[in-house]
């Protein structure tokens, strides 16, 4: 919805990037993100005319197309926002780099100003301070995957782990060689599928060694890639966005159901 009011007193007002690929492969991610933010006293504006952020065009070197996307995007968001949040690490990484990527262009200053307000949803919620979480009915072991665009490009590692760890009855486990890419990497899995598959299979084996009940991550490309390779390896661990698990905890819904995005 274009506007969702907070539950209780308003603590912040943000704009949400709806995303492109994610709306098709994981439409529940945006809905759960809005619910989690509202439960934490955040008013959420989702401009219906926002369009694409231009990240995939940047990945393929189409700078002019990316610039057109970016300038259209910043016009869609109202100025009275505390932040512009995104739940897709690839999008957030690109949006935070607008000022650098489009230096010397006509809208450089406006793009840089917009970039300064962009926050990953985990980064924003952790800084805001999450409301107390109800305990899960059963203990849950969660493997958290560091998406490259979140951990390496944006330097965000602690925030999502802290949000997950705030759920009573949740234990976070690290994935061996967690800094190695899962093979999704924007469009890399399309342009270099053989190498991407090798990386994906390696990541799935590493996840399987953790004994986790659920895997979470903050990027749709990683979620699809890892889910596909876990299924191919015969270890179909539920895979879901960090916000999906937080939402299930808030609503006291089963935390191990099928939260996987489409993989076909």
| Distance from C-alpha of 102 to C-alpha of 24, rounded to nearest angstrom | 28
pLDDT band at 22 (very low <50, low <70, confident <90, very high): confident
Q: Which residues contact 54 (CB under 8 A, 6 or more apart)?
A: 65, 66, 67, 68, 69, 70, 73, 94
Q: Tell me, what's the pLDDT at 258?
A: 56
Higher pLDDT, 262 or 146: 146
3-state class of 142 per DSSP? Answer: strand
Structure tokens at 181: 């890419």
Q: Strand pairing of 83-86 and 12-16?
A: parallel
Max CA-CA distance within the chain?
A: 55
Task: Select from 59, 83, 60, 57 the least CA-distant residue to 72.
Answer: 57
- CA torsion sign for 50, 54, 57, 59 is negative
pLDDT band at 264 (very low <50, low <70, confident <90, very high): very low
What tens digit of pLDDT does each residue of 43-85 get? Answer: 999 999 899 999 989 888 999 999 999 999 999 999 999 999 9
Asked if 162 and 191 touch (Cβ cutoff 8 Å), the reply is: no
| Distance from C-alpha of 233 to C-alpha of 117, rounded to nearest angstrom | 41
pLDDT above 90 covers a percentage of the chain that reads 80
pLDDT band at 105 (very low <50, low <70, confident <90, very high): very high
> What value does the mean pLDDT of the chain take?
92
Q: Quote the pTM value.
A: 0.92
């Amino acid at each position: 919805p274009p506007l969702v009011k907070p539950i209780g007193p308003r603590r912040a007002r943000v704009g949400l990037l709806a995303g492109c690929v994610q709306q098709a492969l994981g439409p529940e991610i945006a809905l759960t993100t809005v619910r989690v933010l509202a439960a934490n006293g955040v008013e959420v504006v989702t401009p219906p005319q926002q369009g694409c952020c231009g990240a995939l065009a940047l990945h393929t070197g189409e700078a002019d197309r990316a610039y057109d996307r970016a300038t259209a995007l910043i016009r869609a968001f109202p100025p009275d926002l505390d932040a512009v949040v995104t739940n897709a690490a690839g999008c957030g990484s690109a949006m935070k780099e607008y000022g650098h990527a489009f230096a010397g262009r006509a809208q450089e200053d406006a793009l840089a100003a917009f970039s300064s307000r962009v926050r990953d949803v985990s980064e924003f919620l952790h800084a805001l301070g999450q409301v107390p979480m109800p305990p899960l009915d059963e203990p849950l072991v969660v493997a958290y995957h560091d998406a490259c665009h979140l951990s390496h490009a944006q330097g965000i590692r602690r925030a999502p782990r802290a949000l997950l760890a705030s759920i009573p009855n949740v234990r976070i486990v690290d994935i061996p060689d967690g800094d190695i890419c899962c093979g999704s990497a924007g469009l890399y899995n399309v342009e270099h599928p053989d190498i991407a598959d090798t990386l994906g299979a390696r990541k799935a084996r590493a996840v399987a060694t953790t004994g986790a009940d659920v895997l979470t991550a903050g990027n749709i490309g990683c979620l699809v890639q890892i889910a596909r390779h876990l299924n191919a390896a015969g270890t179909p661990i539920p895979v879901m966005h960090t916000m999906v698990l937080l939402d299930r905890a808030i609503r006291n819904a089963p935390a191990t159901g099928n939260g996987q995005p489409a993989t076909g």
